[in-house]
Chain A
Amino acid sequence: MAEEPTPILKMENITKRFPGVLANDHANIEIYPGEVLALLGENGAGKSTLMNVLVGLYRPDEGDIFVRGEHVEIHSPSDAAALGIGMVHQNFMLVPTMTVAENIILGMDGLAFRPDLDKVARRIQEIAEHYNMNVDPYAYIWQLSVGEQQRVEILKLIYRGAEILILDEPTAVLTPQESHELANVLKVMTSEGKSAVFITHKMEEVMEFSHWVRVLRRGRVVDVKKTSETNPQELARLMVGREVLFRLEKEASEPGDVVLELQNVYADNEKGLPALQDVSFTIRQGEILGIAGVAGNGQRQLAEVITGLRKVTGGHIYIQGDEETNHSPLRMIKAGVSHIPADRIGMGAVGDMAVSDNLAMKGYREPPMADGGILHPQLILEFARKMIAAFRIATPSPATHIKFLSGGNIQKAILAREIDACKGLLVAVYPSRGLDVGATESVRKRLLEQRAQGRAVLLISEDLDELITIADRIAVLFEGRVMGIVDSHNADIDALGLMMAGVPKQEAIAETSG
């Protein structure tokens, strides 16, 4: 490495302990000007922790940080900002009732008493144009999609002069198009000498976005690779410590009785606009129906009407032959519906409750966990231990508040609870989002296992490969309508892509086969 330019940033021997966990264990990283460093590692490997140390949210127990060759102490995000380091967290930190421009200058040092917002807006516009980002400085945050909000977070950092950008799983919430746009933004930035750290679980993105890769395992950096000299298989193996199958064997299955039937369902979104229109389909026992579509085309609402969280404005929902239209979530649970929600921290888990309490969320009403309204903590704990072992949830103890787990491990806990409680229908919304390759593989196996046991599975996913691998049939949603349902064994990615863009099934198939 003698030939390399000096790193703009160096973290040396960073160690960070939490009660019961060694999150970072003498980790080293180096970042060079104009380059993107990808951090790769299993769920709970310590990626987010290391970056939180870098921006001053955590104090390391040991280790040193050097920025531009100088030894620095970073005590807070504003210290980090002063050194030109900024981070986009996985859950954004924007004020929904304020405009983009207001959010961008919020909390900045040395603001005038009444900042000239028009001037700010013009500057934002300039930066946005320079990076080919499309943002309206006067729009309110609540009006923006998740991808747009992320752009605002990035703009905020650039506006404040960040030279080193840290992006923690930025693409987990993006559509494929949005990910490409992000890649372009990063290219412009690096061409100007700025640097970035990029955390992701998707190998293609590592290959596409980064110059260097560092692989973390149990808090240690186990390998450093030049991106151009490695490949996805090798990276996956370094990360997990074993070979990872990228293909799963799907056994043939005989679909049985109809478990879920939707008849001409209509529903509105929170703004009162139509989100689902005339949606009809059925799922049988031992069958996985995939829902493809660009995020925001009614997927969330679809899951919510089936789980009783949202009222339909028209149509009928039958579960195992019984009408269950507009019944309460509790009724739906009792009817045998399990649900892995898209929003795992907001909806799937209660952050301030113990892992064991979260795992008990479905079972606490009945024996064995409760008897006549009295809980049995011992049995709840036992159940939690069983789930933690079976699903390999990394947690210091069952009593740890679930919010202290890494993102992927929270997801595993939700999955464990819902799969265990599943009595007929499993609604899985982006179940592998944020999971490492090993865990993704095991989630897919679990879904196939459910199918083999005769359950019906509704799988909502943005990943067409995933849908084609494990779903039996794929329905494409566009603007709340089903554009068509195709068998996955003769599904064509291009035709699906057209349908996702709003082309009806017949035309899409004709166009791609012709």
Chain B
Amino acid sequence: MKQSIWGKILILIGAVVGALLVGALLLLIAGANPLVAYRAMLIGPLSSRYGITEALVKATPLLLVGLGIVIAFRSGILNIGGEGQMVIGALAGSACALALPDLPGILLLPMTLLSSFLAGAVWGGIPGWLKARLSVNEILSTIMLNSIALQLVTFMLRGPLIDPQEIAYGTGFPQTAQLPEQSWLPRLIPRTRLHWGFVVALLLAGLVYVFLWRTSLGYRMRAVGAQKEAARYGGIQVENSLVLAMALSGGFAGLAGMVEVLGIHHRLLDGISAGYGFSGIVAALFGQLHPLGTIPAAILFGALTLGADMMQRAVEVPAAIVLTIQGLVVLFVVGSDVLMRRPDFLKRLLGKRMMPIPEETSQEEVPS
């Protein structure tokens, strides 16, 4: 990992350029001008207060989900259930806020956030328990639980929790009533959508770092993640560690869902998870599965998501193309990771007969 920071940035830029070149072909086919499109996409998020704050708005849930992913992956269990945990968290938190409309904000806000965390933790803990006790593959179980959670929320939004006004007016739009105002997360900058949830997420990133690297519980979980057999030998209860990891991971996703509700929408509606449950994984991986590394990664992907939206508006291409370009960027950027860790990879890729370049030796992994 001794590569210079400039080298890394260069590789990153190279990856984005590569993705954009492939994307340009698609744009040309769709009859749009790639230059105009990319101007909107790349300059847009950086060129205005609106762009910058909006990128951070999108980074907030990415970071929260990503932190949970860091905990799970570091503990040796894969959590693909962020989407489900997010909506379950948002559901529990919203229900809590709606049920206690008269509580002062100073009590209501923490209670709502806590209930979303707990609900997410249960939703994540179930696959953790299934894995630990019955060896059920966690990828399957988390994905299954995603569907169950989404259906559950769909039902609640059309039934028990639907906004009474929607029924009164006969519109029947599936959303809850507005949550009591004292529970909202206040805006960080007036006349933007950036809210205190972003600060909360930053603080939690620090907390997760301390938890994983400075507490004996965190030590235990990392040991299990790195080598189960060795952890068991060291007297660690591997099963408990797995369940705890998944519960914490789900808790963070649940929190992400509720922060979206309290910071942006102020009510629960369909599609609140917006794919963050998956893109949070990408952010965490790109952040080297480090809580602090996930911060810039989440902001980067937040900006990319926003840029894609802006591009679509600028050149009016089908949404599918925008999504494809976004996917390409993620693919290239995450793929470039290999080059950062293994600088000689590129050399091998480009052919074996190149002159040997004096390399900054990295810590190569080789059996001894």
**How many residues on chain A are close to B (CB under 8 Å)?**
53
CA distance A461 to B15 in the complex (A): 54
A73 contacts the other chain (CB 8 A):
yes
Instruction: Please determine whether B366 and A52 come into contact, CB atoms closer than 8 angstroms.
Output: yes
Chain B 274-305, CB-CB to A under 8 Å as 1, else 0, gives: 00000000000000000000000000000000
Stretch binding the partner chain, chosen from A2-10, A136-144, A318-326, A344-352: A344-352
Instruction: Please determine whether B216 and A347 come into contact, CB atoms closer than 8 angstroms.
Output: no
CB within 8 Å: A-B pair count: 105
- Distance (Å) between the CB of A381 and the closest chain B CB? 13
* Residues of chain B within 8 A of A352, CB atoms compared: 226-227
Instruction: Please determine whether B215 and A374 come into contact, CB atoms closer than 8 angstroms.
Output: yes
Given contacts A58-B366, A373-B217, is CB(A329)–CB(B230) below 8 Å? no
* Residues of chain A within 8 A of B237, CB atoms compared: 328, 330
Chain B 184-217, CB-CB to A under 8 Å as 1, else 0, gives: 0000000000000000000000000000011111
- Distance (Å) between the CB of B236 and the closest chain A CB? 8
* Residues of chain B within 8 A of A89, CB atoms compared: 367-368
- Distance (Å) between the CB of A199 and the closest chain B CB? 11
B223 contacts the other chain (CB 8 A):
yes
Instruction: Please determine whether A364 and B229 come into contact, CB atoms closer than 8 angstroms.
Output: no
CA distance A75 to B232 in the complex (A): 38
* Residues of chain A within 8 A of B226, CB atoms compared: 350-353
A377 contacts the other chain (CB 8 A):
yes
**How many residues on chain B are close to A (CB under 8 Å)?**
34
Which residues of B, 155-196, contact A by the 8 Å Cβ criterion? Answer: none
Stretch binding the partner chain, chosen from B77-85, B326-334, B355-363: B355-363
B231 contacts the other chain (CB 8 A):
yes
- Distance (Å) between the CB of A13 and the closest chain B CB? 15
A430 contacts the other chain (CB 8 A):
no
Shortest Cβ distance from A18 into B: residue: B361
Instruction: Please determine whether A374 and B214 come into contact, CB atoms closer than 8 angstroms.
Output: yes
* Residues of chain B within 8 A of A58, CB atoms compared: 364, 366
A391 contacts the other chain (CB 8 A):
no
CA distance A328 to B231 in the complex (A): 13
CA distance A89 to B352 in the complex (A): 24
B110 contacts the other chain (CB 8 A):
no
Partner pick for A375 among B219, B223, B234, B361, CB 8 A cutoff = B219
Shortest Cβ distance from A361 into B: residue: B234
B233 contacts the other chain (CB 8 A):
yes
Given contacts A57-B364, A328-B237, is CB(A73)–CB(B356) below 8 Å? yes
Given contacts A79-B352, A375-B215, A406-B368, is CB(A362)–CB(B359) below 8 Å? no
* Residues of chain A within 8 A of B219, CB atoms compared: 357, 360, 364, 375
Instruction: Please determine whether B223 and A353 come into contact, CB atoms closer than 8 angstroms.
Output: yes
Which residues of A, 6-58, contact B by the 8 Å Cβ criterion? Answer: 17-19, 48, 52, 57-58
Q: Which residues of B contact A (CB under 8 A)?
A: 2, 213-217, 219-220, 222-223, 226-227, 229-237, 344, 348, 352, 356, 358-359, 361, 363-368
In the assembled complex, 6 residue pairs joining A and B whose CB atoms fall closer than 8 Å, in A order, are: A348-B233, A349-B227, A352-B227, A364-B219, A374-B214, A375-B214
